[in-house]
Each structure stands twice: as structure tokens, then as C-alpha cells.
Structure 1
Amino acid sequence: MNSNKIISSVGFSTPTGKGNFDTLEAGLRHISNLGADAAELSIYAEEMISGGRVIGGRLQRLTEITRKFDLRFSVHGQIVSNFMDREHLDLQKAVVRSMIEICNSVGAGVLVHHSGTAPILAKTRTTDLDQMERDALAEISDYARRHGVRIALENIFSMGDEQYRQTPAEVAETVRHIASPHVCGLIDFSHAYIESTRLGLDWCDEIRAMAPVTGHLHVHDSFGLPYTMTNFYHPAEATALGIGDLHLPIGWGDIPWAEIFDELTFLPDTTLIMEIGEDRFSHEQAESLALARDLADRVNNRRKAA
């Protein structure tokens, strides 16, 4: 841990290779060559776990690859990880435990875990869903503690009123309720922007509520527009219209990054990860890295001056 800084490392998420470790290794080499400090391993697509159990041979291969690079690693868990999934909760927890074991093996101190979701039906009690997620997180946090890993609970957006998601401020309350040093918040700024627009909330207030419990950041740009249409033939069409979770380079959307990072602070030793893929934006990544380092400096220099 480097507690001398609030934002201690800046980097990118790796491309998804769908089980092809050559893609992962090439992605890490690209991130390293850019001069980044950190990489988030998108291993949910790498066939690392089977039926809740880690596949030893593939974990060995992953470990061999990561040892080639002087980067700080985090791991992005399953996109479908969901502690509000009553039907599959035991399976969900088994996979998260395996993800924690993978983190431990590759020296990743953070596991990204999506906040829960469930359909809103006539008999749905959202307080029951919240409690189910809190109970599962409390249980898993002890497993994370024993493996030296911190779970970063990420705020997500809903696709419509029939889907329950916690707002960023509610995600922060979940983290506070767990009250474990092995569970922190993860602010995804674009997700917060989209969900706040959808619900008519002040999105700056929402991320202000999360910031004090946040130890991991996902940065990518957008216009905060919910998915009022989804039938895009190509991702570039969504970009052209400015609709949805676009994962754009910094400055391509309208998120006021400088204002945010001039105001907010986070937990010590926070990592800033840009989910800006080289498959689409390899030529823009270097500029985004420079801009992200400036954002980190805004936070860190303010702490020095305090």
C-alpha cells in the first residue's frame, strides 16, 4: 500500500480475449508500453473458472504472464456477479471466492464486483434485496480478508424501471453497513451519470456520497444519456448519438472531469482505471493517460496543501 497518495496508480483495463491469453499478454504489453502504472485484468472472459472452481493450469499461465510486467493489478470479476440473485446465490458466491483466489495468486489487491440487481415484481421488497446483498458481502469480505484482497463494489445503471439497482448513494450506504476494510466503493462516473439522468437525481451529489468510502475508480466518458434506444448496428453509432455507456476517451463526452477531481477525494491508495479499450481507441489512450494523471495530481496535490 502506498498511503502517501490518495490516487496512487493510473492505468487501463485489459482487452477481453475470450480465453486467448495471447490477447491478454499483448494488452498488458501495450498498457506497460504506454507508461501506465496499473492494469485491470478482464479475466471474466478468460475461462478461468469452471463450476465455481479455479482451473489450476490456466491460473498458472495467467500468473506467468502477469509476472512479466511491472504493473499494479486489479481484477474485474464476472459482469453477471450479483448478490441479489436469490436463485443462484450459492453459485455466485462460489465464483467470487474463486475470483478472490485468482487475485491472491497474481498479486491483485482489488476485486471489482458489480452491485446487485433484480427484476421489480409485484411482491418485490427492495429492502430484502439490499439485505441479501449485504449478508453475502459481509460473508465474502472475511474470505477476502484471509487472501489480502479488497472487494470494490461498483455502481451500475438500470436499463429501465422494471429493474432494481441501488443508486450510487445507496451503494455507499451498503459499503458503510458492511464496515470492513476489505470492502470499499468503486465509483464508475459514467454509470453514475447515466443512472442519475434516468432517475432525475443530481449526479454530483450521488458521487459525493460515494467518494468517502471509495478506493477504486473507473473513468471513461459519456453524455449521461440512458438507453432510450439500443438497436445500434455498430458502437460508433451510439457514440455519434451520445446514447448509453459509451466508454469514450476522456474529453469525448461532457463529464466535467476537472471540476470533479478538484472537489472530491477518496480513500488512500486508490487506483484509477480507464475502461477505454485499445480495440477502439488505441491512438487516444496516451492522451487519456496524460489527462488522467493530471486528474490524479489535482487530488494528490490538494492533499499535500492541506
Structure 2
Amino acid sequence: MKIGFTLKPRNGNILDFENQVQDLENIGAGSAEIPLYELDVISGKKIIQDELNLLQNITGKSKLKFSIHGSMSVNLLDEEYLNDHIEVLKKEIEVCSILDVNILVTHFGHTSLETSKNQTKYNQLISIQKEKYFELAKIAKKYGVILCIENIFPYTSGHYTALPSEVSKNISEINHPNAKTTIDFSHAYINCNLQSKDLISELETMAPHTEHLHVHDSFGKFKTMDTYIFPEDITYGQGDIHLPLGWGDIPFDKIFSTLNLKKDIFFNFELTHRYKKYYSQNIEKAKKLISLMK
């Protein structure tokens, strides 16, 4: 697997990546994820060539393999802004192609809890999303890009999003070689606990479709209590808190010894720079997890 970390620009500054990429190479990482959602490479659904050139200059000189995480706001279950989401995804596919990056991470859609309980309406939205994903996968294929659709969790108590098994079912029905998945283990853990589902069983359904992993620890607890600042969510162990491996209680040993994952995919840590001092340690932990695979 290609073990790496998400790059973290300060205030969208692409030039920050230069040292970060070098640091990752120095500690033996093999990959990095570019957070396109934090950059100004796309403005008003148009590519800003100056920004793209800066990014291309950095990636082109690196030995790392890169993936790209597209806009967090893309939501193909959103009827009102569906066309906007599609246009943004198309531009992100173009950016991937120009940078010679073949993995574009994008989120599975989400909707209101109320809408999800109206089965007819929800099924209609899911059908539209599948149709659009198929069309986008065809475009992605022309550009040599794979859409890696990520399982998420409800961001508020009024939201609903699919469990890993539903994501897997949708990908099977889309049935296109350029529509695959990203497993986010913490997202799955939180959503499975919310819906009283078994984490391992749910993840097993996604594994055959998976080309990219988002790895970070948590306690699988949906955030219900207000805190003064984000670090206090860590103190209380709630929410999607992006911890180093072993700081939460996701059963990673069991996951990697059970799931039938491909061995040449991206193993990407989503850790902030507050944990940079633990990056090397987490690479070693990743290698141990990979050694547990079938």
C-alpha cells in the first residue's frame, strides 16, 4: 500500500506543500493527498492556471504518489444545487488529469433525516445520484481518473447518509470501472454506532470496491455535547476527531485481518499538523496493519 498523509496548507497557500512534501519523503512516506477543497485552484467553477501551475511544479518534482480530495460540499443528493456540484466535480476531474493524479476522492451524498424517511423521495434522489455518478465516471475514464466515493456520517442530528453497505450497493449498481470507493473508518464507526450496525460487517461490503483509505482514530461517538474549542472534543472523545492510531478505539487490527482489501491502494492518514510529531510512528503502525492482511 501507498502510505501517506493529507497535505495541510495555511490559509490555502499552495507553497506550503513544498516543505511538507519533502518532509513526507524524508520520513519514508509513499504518498500524499492534496486537499483541493482548501485551495484556490478552482474559482467560480473555472481553473485558475497560476494556482494550478504552482501545484504542478511541486507535484511534478516529487517521488510521492498523489491522490486528490475534492470539494467537501459536493453533494449529489442535493436537488437545488445539483448542477453546480456536477460542474465542480468535472473541473476537479480535469485538475486530476493535468496533475497526472488518477484518484479523486468525493463524498457520497447526504440529505435530511426527514427526506430519508420518505422512501419514495429518497429512492428518487439515490437514483439521480447513481445516474450522475455513472455519467461522471465515463468522463473520468476519458481523463484517466477514478472517482473514489467516500462513506461519510451525518454531520448533524437532522441529517442522514448511507451506511457502508448502502454505498457498496450503489457502487455495484453503478457498475463502472471508474466509480470506486474510499473507506473512511472513523466515519463508518460513527454511522454504524448511530444506526446500531456491526462495523466489520458493514466495512466488508465496501472492501472489494475500495481503491483509497482514510485512516485516523476516534471513539465512534456522534457529537452531542457542545464544547468550547475543538480539542475538548478530543478530551471528551466525541465526534470525528482525526486521532493518531491507538488514541481511539477503532478495532484496526481486526479490520485489517478481516477485510479483503487490495494491497496496492492508498493508505492515507488524515491527521492535522498538531500530530506531525507522530507521523513516523503512524507509518510503522500502518506497516504492521498491512502485514495482518490476508
With the length of structure 1 as denominator, give the TM-score of the two structures.
Answer: 0.91
Counterpart in the other structure of 1:293: 287
What CA distance in whole angstroms lies between the structure 2 residues aligned with 1:237 and 1:194? 18
What CA distance in whole angstroms lies between the structure 2 residues aligned with 1:170 and 1:34? 37
Counterpart in the other structure of 2:65: 72
How far the C-alpha of 1:25 sits from its partner, in A, is 2.2
How far the C-alpha of 1:265 sits from its partner, in A, is 1.6
Q: Deviations over 1:169-199 (max 9, x none)?
A: 1001111111111011111001000011111
Counterpart in the other structure of 1:261: 256
Contact 1:83 1:89 in 2 (8 A): yes
Counterpart in the other structure of 1:54: 47
Structure 1 letter corresponding to 2:56: T
- Local SS of the residue matching 1:112: strand
Structure 1 letter corresponding to 2:19: A
Say which of 123, 131, 136 aligns to 1:135.
131
What CA distance in whole angstroms lies between the structure 1 residues aligned with 2:26 and 2:83? 40
Q: Is 1:273–2:261 an aligned residue pair? A: no
Q: Deviations over 1:216-261 (max 9, x none)?
A: 11110001001112x3223221111110101000010111111111
Q: Structure 2 matches for 1:221-260, cutoff 5 A?
A: 221-229=217-225, 231-260=226-255
Number of aligned positions between the proteins? 291
What CA distance in whole angstroms lies between the structure 1 residues aligned with 2:219 and 2:158? 23
Aligned-residue RMSD, C-alpha: 1.5
Unaligned runs of 5+ in 2: none
What CA distance in whole angstroms lies between the structure 2 residues aligned with 1:160 and 1:94? 26
- Local SS of the residue matching 2:2: strand
What CA distance in whole angstroms lies between the structure 2 residues aligned with 1:213 and 1:158? 22
What CA distance in whole angstroms lies between the structure 1 residues aligned with 2:57 and 2:94? 16
Counterpart in the other structure of 1:3: none
Unaligned runs of 5+ in 1: 1-7
Say which of 249, 257, 277 aligns to 1:283.
277
With the length of structure 2 as denominator, give the TM-score of the two structures.
Answer: 0.95
Structure 2 letter corresponding to 1:32: E
What CA distance in whole angstroms lies between the structure 2 residues aligned with 1:40 and 1:143? 22
How far the C-alpha of 1:30 sits from its partner, in A, is 2.1
What CA distance in whole angstroms lies between the structure 2 residues aligned with 1:260 and 1:57? 43
Contact 2:14 2:51 in 1 (8 A): no
Counterpart in the other structure of 1:200: 196
- Local SS of the residue matching 1:245: coil
Contact 1:17 1:24 in 2 (8 A): no
Q: Is 1:175–2:171 an aligned residue pair? A: yes
Contact 1:16 1:43 in 2 (8 A): no
What CA distance in whole angstroms lies between the structure 2 residues aligned with 1:144 and 1:66? 20
Say which of 11, 14, 18 aligns to 1:21.
14
Structure 2 letter corresponding to 1:298: L
Structure 2 letter corresponding to 1:282: K
What CA distance in whole angstroms lies between the structure 2 residues aligned with 1:271 and 1:238? 28
How far the C-alpha of 1:134 sits from its partner, in A, is 0.5
